[in-house]
Amino acid sequence: MKMRHVRLRIAAAGMATSLMIVGCAAPDPADTIYLNGEVVTMDDDRPSAEAVAVRDGRIVAVGTEAEVLEFRGESTTLADLSGNTLVPGFIDGHIHLGGLGPQAVGANLLASPDGGADTIEDVVQALREFAAGGDVARTGWIFGMGYDEAVLAERRHPTRDDLDRVSTEIPVMAVHISGHIIAVNSLGLEAIGYSAESDDPEGGVIRRRPGSREPNGVLEELAGLPTLFQVLNPGDPEDQVYFLRRALETAKSFGHTTIQEGRASADVHQALAGAAEAGLFDVDVVSYIDYASREVLTDEWHTRDYRDRYRVGGMKVTLDGSPQGRTAWRTEPYLLPPDGQAPGYRGYAAIPDDAFVASLFEEAYQQGWQVLTHANGDAAIDQLIRAVGGVHGEHGPGDRRHVLIHGQFIRQDQLDSLAALQIMPSLFPMHTFYWGDWYDEIVGPDQAQRISPMRSALDRGLRVTSHSDAPVALPNLMRVMAATVNRTSRSGQVMGAGERLTPAEALKAITLWGAYQHFEEDRKGSIEVGKLADLVVLSANPLTVDPTTIGDIVVLETIKEGQSVYAAR
């Protein structure tokens, strides 16, 4: 529901009398004043306020209602918050804009509470319903996003046999909630070119039927990711715009005013740049270019300043897979190996060559590129530390803000290394709810209690962000914040009480510290005079409600530089 806006006209004589009393010149009038609600600023010098004034897309006053009303003029709009809460616009530490379109368009294969795919039959039915709609022609595939074998009743991935029940005439793809595994039907395997004669590609696994080399339809990491990217990035310009619009609307509905594309190829970058030049963005978009396309980092879009609300922020390096999919690279074996893997299985590296990883960071240090590195398992994080450690000493300290993305199984000694190497962690406490119980089974309760150690990172003086990694789940940052504060699993088990953050810290991790991660803390992340008027209206104050209800808070309105870009109906 959009806030009520009231036009207020002030008599010139009355204004003149008021100015004579205060004895100073009147400030230029604001375009909009937000009042009659709670304002959470994320500014330690003034953490709360009663009202906010905005002019030309920037904040010009924050304070008591009386103070801010000094900025009203004949054309000022009074935006009535109606008792709701105003917070800074959300900046997710890691999200994939390109994946939000397919998430919005395709079948919802998420389990409860974000969807209804709790059994394999539910997955099949959701895909059938999508097939009956009108969007299959946009990709040529029946597809859906978000199934999770950890919570499916059958506790397994759907196979080609399951997905053949959806269709034997059209390729079918079900994308795992991690985004690192896909399941396809028989026609999908044929379209990719996989058969019993196909070997596993480097950095990926083709799962097989028991006692056979025949693919069972489940494809891990680089065995399936190229197809995933190809299918879910339609080639037709009209379809590209359709997916992008759906993605943007989804993000804005959850309060995102700056959206990251966390792993862009050269083609994806070109599509985003084209969309920016066409005026399709009403929020800021920053992309990180996959190392395989790093030539993009030499073009004019790689800058700290947005052009048409788009820029390239740096390079993305991926060193392993997902913990919940058991493709994260660990130093200790998984207690429950995936199907087809022997005891002692530890996951695997996405880039086995240490020297190549080191060369990427050497190039980044030489060129001044920021690097976001996906590493979940502690072996992958060791690889990151080896690579950065080898070049950091040579080049010396600097304000580079390299980021470790996810770090689910990071060790305490590795946090010390991050601090020494000036690597900022963007951790994933949302996993405590979604997969805390599953981690008890696959890595054991001790390790499960240590995932996403947010408090330990803060205690070392590290700024830390949290993220949704959408479309891994919905880009609902109130759920992310709830997990950061409560750290409870689906079953209600507390997952590492000592790693909880306070509500204020958890909100900073998706606002002010998110802005810092993107080199934008001078203009975003808090409600302060001079900063952009990137704002979100929430149904309740996340700092004062019962912490267990933070995840129930909804976004009522999203405001980008003083303009409403989303309003709940």
C-alpha 26, offset from chain centre: 43
**DSSP character for 141?**
S
Residues 6 or more apart whose Cβ sits within 8 Å of residue 229: 265
CA atoms 351, 355, 356, 358: torsion sign? positive
Residues of the chain short of pLDDT 50, as ranges, are 4-23
User: What's the pLDDT at 209?
Assistant: 95
d(CA 116, CA 564): 31
Q: How far is CA 145 from CA 161, 192, 465, 477, in A?
A: 18, 19, 25, 19
**Sequence-ordered strand ranges (E) for 67-194:** 77-80, 85-88, 90-91, 107-108, 142-147, 172-176, 181-184
User: What's the pLDDT at 25?
Assistant: 66
User: What's the pLDDT at 3?
Assistant: 55
SS3 228: helix
Residues facing residue 372 across a β-bridge: 316, 403
Q: Is 492 exposed, middle or buried (0-12, 13-18, 19+ CB in 10 A)?
A: exposed
Q: Say if CB 529 and CB 60 are below 8 A apart.
A: yes
User: What's the pLDDT at 285?
Assistant: 98
User: What's the pLDDT at 244?
Assistant: 96
Q: Which domains does the chain have, with CATH numbers?
A: 1-83+533-569 (2.30.40.10), 100-231 (3.10.310.70), 319-523 (3.20.20.140)
**DSSP character for 237?**
H
Six token digits for residue 278: 């066409």
d(CA 443, CA 453): 16
Residues facing residue 35 across a β-bridge: 80
User: What's the pLDDT at 234?
Assistant: 85
User: What's the pLDDT at 16?
Assistant: 32
Q: Say if CB 403 and CB 423 are below 8 A apart.
A: yes
Q: How far is CA 479 from CA 175, 208, 429, 507, in A?
A: 22, 36, 10, 11
d(CA 494, CA 451): 12
pTM of the model: 0.89
Q: Is 274 exposed, middle or buried (0-12, 13-18, 19+ CB in 10 A)?
A: middle
C-alpha 177, offset from chain centre: 13
